[in-house]
Amino acid sequence: MTSSKVYLITGGNRGIGFELVKELSKDENNFVIATVRDPSKNDEFKVFSESKKNVSAVKLDFDKDSDIDGLGGQLGKLTDKVDVFISNAGISDAYHEVVEASKEDYFTHYRVNALAPVFIFQKVYPFLKKSDIKKAVFVSTAACSFSEFLPLRVSAYGSSKAALNFSVLQLSSELVNEGFTIFAAHPGMVSSDMGKVGLEKLPQIVPDIEKYFADSLVVITPEQSALGLSKVIEASDSQYNGKFYYYDGSAHNF
């Protein structure tokens, strides 16, 4: 159906996801499909996507099983394969210690950050199998690292992303013999809408936050994050499988 290099990006209408769409669609040989909750919403993404022949959108609300179940049908109308799947959509809106976090904090973060990416990958898998590239990149976070633990009081967010990382490792092991390259990526401390909330709240919760970072608390823009991630994704090969990379190209332990 298409000879272009096909990217599928979840949460492609805002923040890092939108910047990835803009960055990757600069190459007219790429066809970029973004998932959005409401494709009819008259926002910046809609204006942009309608101005680009190589950008399209599909409806996907993580809270609706019918949207996840119907994703394959929507993709099938646009392409017969997906070369690169970027699982970008996620949430981080609970800044509590473990003893204070609510059930809803945990349930919501696990549903969106840990479970939905797996269920969506299951629907995308048949399209990835038809590609010669077969890449899946799951946007994770340094905040869930075991080897470089950061006491940031984001228990629901951090643990849900740690659960996602386990699925990344599991998938990378299960599908390596099928030629897949599957890895996790940290986008950096980003001044997106979601990131700005964290940047405002975390210093209040962890007053000495800067001492937990190697240099300083470096904040980057969504554009910088997307540019870095796109370079990492483009450079990735079989050696990246089952690994954890930062947006700057450096490899880290989970």
The pLDDT mean for the chain works out to 89
Residue 241 has pLDDT above 80, yes or no: yes
Q: How confident is the model at residue 197 (pLDDT cuts 50, 70, 90)?
A: very low
In this prediction, residue 49 has a pLDDT band, given cuts at 50, 70 and 90, of very high
User: Residue 137 pairs with which residues in a beta bridge?
Assistant: 86, 183
Q: Quick check: 112 pLDDT over 60?
A: yes
Q: Tell me, what's the pLDDT at 92?
A: 86
The interaxial angle of helices 116-129 and 155-174, nearest 10 deg, is 30
Q: Taking residues 210-214, what's their average pLDDT?
A: 54
Task: Specify whether the CB–CB gap between 252 and 232 falls below 8 A.
Answer: no
- Residue 194: pLDDT above 60? no
What's this model's pTM, rounded to 2 decimal places? 0.90
Each residue's pLDDT tens digit, 130-182: 999 999 999 998 877 777 766 677 888 889 999 999 999 999 999 999 999 99
CB of 161 closer than 8 Å to CB of 144: yes
Contact at 8 Å (CB) between 202 and 153? yes
Task: pLDDT band for 94, please (50, 70, 90 cuts).
Answer: confident
Conformation bin of residue 11: beta by default, left when phi > 0, alpha when psi is -120 to 50: left
Position 129 pLDDT exceeds 50? yes
Closest CA to 19 of 233, 224, 231: 224
Give the pLDDT of residue 60. Answer: 97
* pLDDT number for residue 155: 85
Going from the N-terminus, what domains does the chain have, and what CATH number goes with each?
A: 5-188+222-252 (3.40.50.720)
Summarize pLDDT for 16-33 with one digit per residue, the tens: 999 999 999 999 999 999
Instruction: Give Cα 197 to chain centroid, integer Å.
Output: 18
- Chain segment 53-84, per-residue pLDDT in tens: 999 999 999 989 999 999 999 999 999 999 99
Least confident range of 123-127, 142-146, 227-231: 142-146
Per-residue model confidence (pLDDT) at position 3: 72
Query: Which amino acid belongs to residue 185?
Result: A
**Structure token pair of residue 219:** 């904040």
pLDDT > 60? residue 90: yes
Helices (H) and strands (E) in the chain, counts: 9, 10
Q: Catalogue the active-site residues.
A: 157, 161
List beta partners, residue 135. Answer: 84, 181
